Amino acid sequence: MAKRNGRGLGLFRDCRAQATVNLDGSGQAKAASGSGFLDHMLLALARTANIDLVAESEEGLWRAQTLGRAIGLALDDALGDRSGICRYGSASVPMDESLADVALDFRGRPYLIVSGEFRGERIGDFEAMLLEPFLEELFNAAGMTVHIRFYGENDHHKMECIFKALGLAVRLAAAKGGAGIPSTKGVI
């Protein structure tokens, strides 16, 4: 891992997936998840987070979860000891009739709450029920507490709102927020 001014480049690679996260990026992304729709969501996440992301996974039954874990581990690697970051971030993103609210904490202990439902089983070539397992793996690996609330009529819009709100919340939480580790305990 290479670090610049307390922020860094995170990398995770194994035989099933690989991911690279650059917190000092410009919103560029390359994704090969096996789902064009999930790739589109990862590009939206990177753009709104203003991070560079490369994420690829091999074929397999647990492809989305494996990729979520790889991205989470790369993000955790990029954050290092979390010194100098703001730590907390939240965002609301509307898209026509849909809205998503995301609040997160890079506290080092994973927890996920999702409140909202999709109407259909699929959004493009992505099974809507795979969103939570993908996010669970990402947040567990990155050590993030995340609360997500969403509603709307169009499943595509709801999913896109979630990923864009997540990106904005990551941007705020990973931003430089002062010296030291942002915790009263001095450790995250």
Per-residue pLDDT tens over the stretch 29-64: 999 999 999 999 999 999 999 999 999 998 766 789
Report how many domains make up the chain.
Answer: 1
- For the entire predicted model, the pTM comes to 0.91
Asked if residue 128 is part of any domain, the answer here is: yes
Residue at 187 is within a domain: no
Q: Average pLDDT, whole number, for the chain?
A: 91
Closest of 186, 103, 117, 188 to residue 146, by C-alpha: 103
Quote the domain boundaries for residue 77: 3-174
72-76, 105-109, 122-126, 165-169: which has the minimum mean pLDDT?
Answer: 105-109
- Any domain includes 126: yes
Domain with residue 90: its CATH number is 3.30.230.40
Q: Is the pLDDT assigned to residue 167 strictly greater than 60?
A: yes
What digits encode the pLDDT tens for the residues 88-101? Answer: 999 999 999 999 99
